[in-house]
Amino acid sequence: MPSSIIKQRIAGRAVIVHDGNVLIIRESHAYQGSQNVGKYDFPGGKVEPGESLQEGLLRETKEECGLDVTIGEPFFIGEWRPEIKGEKIQIFGVFFRCFPKTLDILLGPDHDDYQWIDPRDYNAYNLIPLDCEVLRLLIKQSE
């Protein structure tokens, strides 16, 4: 029987910007425990105990897309509540504007595609809903 206890997590998300475009990566069917298979998202993930938010973001970005990034300021905080393998989780995500040190993308096993997109074209991609909100804010901030 699933537990009614909700665990909390903190995640860093990298909104990687290059020449006005933003990197999105698609979760593959190989990704165990995801509810976003086939959807595009920003690189990033949960912060491990003892890591700073920035350390976790650097590690996750490297694992998921092979990029080393320079982390800018956080510009959005969001929340989502997935249920993974019967476990309820409340995740607080801190979204940082980041800049790639190189463009040599090497996707990890949990992702099967990447795109550099114009943020204004976000509706053309199967993005998780919170990312659409993030991109709308990014567009507004760049006007």
Q: What is the mean pLDDT of the chain?
A: 92
pLDDT tens for 116-133 read 999 999 999 999 999 999
Identity of residue 9: R
Q: Could you give the percent of the chain with pLDDT greater than 90? A: 82
Please state the domain extents for the chain: 11-142
What is the spatial distance between Cα 6 and Cα 20, in angstroms, rounded to a whole number?
A: 38
pTM: 0.91
pLDDT tens for 18-66 read 999 999 999 998 776 667 888 999 999 999 999 999 999 999 999 999 9
Mode of pairing for the β-strands spanning 69-80 and 83-84: unpaired
pLDDT tens for 53-102 read 999 999 999 999 999 999 999 999 999 998 877 889 999 999 999 999 99
Is the CATH number 3.40.980.10 carried by domain 11-142? no
